[in-house]
Amino acid sequence: MSLITFRSSTQGSVIMFGDNAKQLLAAMALPESGEMTTAELTAKIALLKAAIDADKTHNAIVWPEEPDDDIDQEQPIIIHFSQRAAPMLQLMERCLAAAETIRWPA
């Protein structure tokens, strides 16, 4: 299983599993390897927010009330796109504010 790291020189990085990163990149119409410049970030943030909102509409996030309960431990934990995309959205917003480019390899 591959990992993709989205990097900014001063604002940090986000590491994702390859399949999850490809889903995120597809939602923003970006290639598997490249960069997002400051000029592109506003539009890409809007696309990502729309994808997150659509995912939240279709996949409500339900947190167990008592995570120590034996029943909850037997249930699979499902992490939805909206949850996986949140760190990337934060990185993009920080990079927009700092006029920073985000780069990632394939």
Backbone angles phi, psi at 16, to 5 degrees: -135, 155
Over its C-alpha atoms, the chain yields an Rg (Å, rounded) of 15
Specify the pLDDT at position 102: 98
Specify the pLDDT at position 59: 85
Backbone angles phi, psi at 87, to 5 degrees: -60, -35
Chunked mean pLDDT (size 10), the chain, 106 residues? 93 95 96 96 98 91 61 71 96 97 89
Specify the pLDDT at position 77: 74
Number of H helices, E strands in the chain: 4, 4
Specify the pLDDT at position 73: 62
99: left (phi over 0), alpha (psi -120 to 50) or beta: left
Q: Secondary structure of the chain: what % helix, strand, coil (to 5)?
A: 50, 15, 30
**Whole-structure pTM value:** 0.84
